[in-house]
Amino acid sequence: MHSRHVALGALMSPFAGFDMPIRYSDITDEHLAVRKDVGVFDVSHMGEIFVCGPDAEKFINHIFTNDIRGYNPGKILYGMMLYPDGGVVDDLLVYREFTPDHFLLVVNASNIDKDYRHICECAAGYDVQIDNQSAVWGQVAVQGPRAEEVVTKVLGIDCAASLGFYEYCNSTWNGSRLIVSRTGYTGEDGFELYTTLEGTCEIWDKLIAAGVKPCGLGCRDTLRFEAGLPLYGDELSEEISPIMAGLGMFCKLDKEEFIGRDALAAQKAQGTAKKLVGIEIEDRAVPRAGYPVELEDGTQVGVVTTGYHSISLDKSICFALVDTKFSALDTPLWIRIRKKVFPGKVVKKRFYQTNYKK
């Protein structure tokens, strides 16, 4: 894939141990292609870890905040793996496979090795097999209002149209397994396609030949941010728990147990010192990660985790981790950008109205 990105004129940059395309033409053009038409991302850097065995369901429920029990094969759940203190190992997707007692865990590229070690360390006493296949799977994400049309007509993947949001089907590509999931990281309808490395290159070539716009990591970040989706290391981390990040709905505290459950239950009951919020800035100045969040008198009460001048909304907005007592909607806050401060207010973290398949 690397030579294909270079041939398309991509600006390449290191990311999570990979040399990745940041943009091919212009981040704004790529962003708007996904919002209004369709775009394709190479996301082969993501990790794929397979878990199977008689205790697989019990084990996944032990390491995963969401509850996979009762879901039929073909369903996908979002959640986190935690440390005992409630800090986040990673956020991930869990696919319930059509083969009994088989699961696929899709993890962040920067955490593949750490996640694999964590999963293996937690498996003591469980009858499971853990197989890190991240190096042999490729993945492309086709995202945007025309994603279904492109996947079904250009690629000929018939099962895609019948999928609901967070569902997947198995197909084949040149004799090899193809996983087709109605998921993504943009706030738009779309599909993530997993297959062999060779098959991934073939799918990419076919999409580019059909005129689908290639999109880089730059607009992947602006898109996910507008849709209120967290990025591990920024909005979730060992220090930022799901409760602090406002993602408690993906943590099923009514389960009998999972790693970190007691810590999250205590945070929910007692509250947390800090909370992740959205902030809209009155000026066009652009807030960046690490910029201080202050009160009018200059007292720092938080820090920006992600910030942009929104391409879709034409507003300067950011996520920020702030003292909880200043997290209520419409609370006035100021962002310090170098030597100046800019007024803003707390707003909902989902800045953009998402358009997922219902």
Share of residues in the chain with pLDDT > 90 (%): 98
pLDDT value at residue 16: 86
Strand ranges inside the chain, DSSP E: 11-15, 18-23, 39-42, 47-52, 76-82, 88-96, 102-107, 129-132, 138-143, 168-173, 176-181, 190-195, 213-215, 274-281, 292-294, 300-309, 316-323, 332-337, 340-347
Q: How confident is the model at residue 357 (pLDDT cuts 50, 70, 90)?
A: confident
Q: What is the pLDDT of residue 63?
A: 98
**DSSP secondary structure letters along 219-245:** HHHHHHHHTT---BTTTBSSSS-TTTT
116: confidence class by pLDDT, cuts 50, 70, 90? very high
Domains of the chain by start residue, with CATH:
2-44+137-226 (3.30.1360.120), 46-118+241-272 (3.30.70.1400), 274-347 (2.40.30.110)
Residue 104 DSSP code: E
Given pLDDT bands bounded at 50, 70 and 90, which one contains residue 358? confident
Question: 227-257 burial, b if ≥16 CB within 10 A, otherwise e?
Answer: bbbbbbbbbbbeebbbbbbbbbebbbeeeee
Position of tokens 């250009």? Answer: 154
Give residue 32's pLDDT: 98
User: Predicted confidence band at 157 (pLDDT cuts at 50, 70, 90)?
Assistant: very high
pLDDT per residue as tens digits for the range 159-196: 999 999 999 999 999 999 999 999 999 999 999 999 99
Question: For residues 150 and 33, what is the distance between their CA atoms, to the nearest angstrom?
Answer: 14
Question: Rounded to an integer, what is the distance from CA 186 to the centroid of its chain?
Answer: 9
Tokens 């397994």 appear where? 177
* pLDDT tens, residue by residue, 23-44: 999 999 999 999 999 999 999 9
Mean pLDDT (the chain) is 97
Residues 256-275: tens digit of each pLDDT? 999 999 999 999 999 999 99
CA–CA dist 144, 352 (Å, integer): 14
Q: What share of the chain has pLDDT > 70, as a percent?
A: 100
pLDDT at 143 > cutoff 80: yes
Give 284-339 pLDDT, tens digit per residue: 999 999 999 999 999 999 999 999 999 999 999 999 999 999 999 999 999 999 89
Residue appearing with tokens 């239950």 = 265
Q: Please give the model's pTM, rounded to 2 decimal places.
A: 0.96
